[in-house]
Amino acid sequence: MEKDQNISDEEQNNEEEIHKTEQNSTGPIEQKEEIKEITPEEKIKELEDRVIRTLAEMENQRRRFEKEKDDAFDYGGFAFAKEALNLIDNLERSKQILENDIVLKSTEALKITLEHFDIINKDLISVFSKNNIMAIDSIGKKLDPNIHQAMLEIENDQKEPGTIIQEIQKGFMMKDRLLRPALVGVSKKTESNDQKNEENIEKSDNK
């Protein structure tokens, strides 16, 4: 009897294990069945969103490419133009040296040479102008930090303070970009002797 009872208990345990195994094996299948399937309409909507995003990215890239192409066309010679300004500077310096030469002063040779310098200078300005490089008009204008660089102040009661009354080096623009600023001298009100004395005292105190 005890042997039969043991056999029955073992069979019952085996049946319980089989039942648990069946439950465990059917669990994942039931979970898989619970996953919601994407409908054709949802799939189409997802594809439409992807297409719209792709087209937007392509349009942005096209605009960037167009801007880079335009900038390359308009400002591709920016660095070269900036270096070419040295030709005008050197020509102007050479002209000033000749004008101040005591031996050459008032000679016919100097007159002819300066005339040729002026022709070369006009030709250079003309070439720059054809390539959208324009000189900045400074004399008599108010100082604009965007295109002018003040190098010194000059006492002048006839002009409003901050007015450009001297051009040390001509500035140039390339279309709407600053090629180089104009170096200028600006007017300031004449200081009284008392003000000058006060400034001198302050400078000596700082030392």
Query: Hey, what CATH topology would domain 134-207 get?
Result: Nucleotide Exchange Factor Grpe; Chain A, domain 2 (2.30.22)
- Are 145 and 108 in contact by the 8 Å Cβ rule? The answer is no
pTM: 0.57
Could you read off the pLDDT of 182-199 as tens digits, one per residue? 999 999 998 765 555 566
Q: Which of 149, 152, 127 minimizes the C-alpha distance to 136?
A: 149
CA 175 to chain centre: 15
Please state the domain extents for the chain: 134-207
Q: Output the pLDDT for position 15.
A: 57
Tokens 């295109």 belong to which residue? Answer: 147
Q: Output the pLDDT for position 164.
A: 95
What whole-number distance in Å separates Cα of residue 10 and Cα of residue 19?
Answer: 14
Residue type, 98: L
Q: Output the pLDDT for position 71.
A: 63
What whole-number distance in Å separates Cα of residue 201 and Cα of residue 203?
Answer: 5
C-alpha triplet 150, 155, 161: angle, nearest 5°: 60
Q: Output the pLDDT for position 141.
A: 93
Side-chain half-sphere exposure of 95, counting CA atoms within 13 A: 16
- Are 157 and 190 in contact by the 8 Å Cβ rule? The answer is yes
Residue 125 corresponds to which tokens in the numbers above? 């300005």
pLDDT < 50 regions, the chain: 1-7, 25-33
Q: Output the pLDDT for position 56.
A: 83
